[in-house]
Homo-oligomer: A and B are copies of this chain.
Amino acid sequence: MRAALQRFRTLGYANTSLDELAAATGVNRPSLYATFGDKKALYLAGLARTHAIIDSTFAALHDVHYPPEKMLKALFLGAIEGFLTGEYGPSGCIAVNTAAAEAVADADIRAALADFMQLQDGWIEKLMEQAGTADPRGDAQIASSVIHSLSTRARAGTPRAELIAIAKKATALLLA
């Protein structure tokens, strides 16, 4: 599943064939079909796995009770470092950058993307609330928006230093 996720994340959903998934995972096509049904089911299972990983990452960040500035630093820098990984180079977030391309034409992928964003907004709201900011929901939506952009910018080739500068600016605005 991890190898399949990397393929989807690198190439996007539409560019990833079952042959490529078979090659990447070392599992033949009939077995992939037998286990997951079809390419879309495998992609949605990959998004669900990413969803679960993000959920536990946010839960861990919530557990440590960081003060506001340290929390935002962990949030943004953690996101940036993740977005800069990938098979061939910086690949951002699979949900934001591959599901969005399918979201208009495919209602299931659109729903999965919306769930993903709701999970992210919701957790960041909890973190903002814990940090005692005045408008946790609004602050969370902006922090989450900046993360969406950092992901897209990473995929566009923006260097780490510029991504970090954007994260620092967002932190300054949110803590002002």
Contact = CB atoms under 8 A, between A and B. Distances in A.
Interface of A: 9-15, 86-92, 96-98, 100-105, 110-111, 113-114, 117, 135, 138-139, 141-142, 144-146, 148-150, 152-153, 155-158, 165-166, 169-170, 172-174, 176
Contacts of A9: 104
Contacts of A166: 138, 141-142, 145
A5 to B, nearest CB: 14
A44 to B, nearest CB: 15
Contact of A142 (B97, B98, B146): B146
Nearest to A144: B149
8 contacts: A9-B104, A12-B101, A86-B104, A98-B101, A100-B100, A145-B149, A146-B146, A173-B174
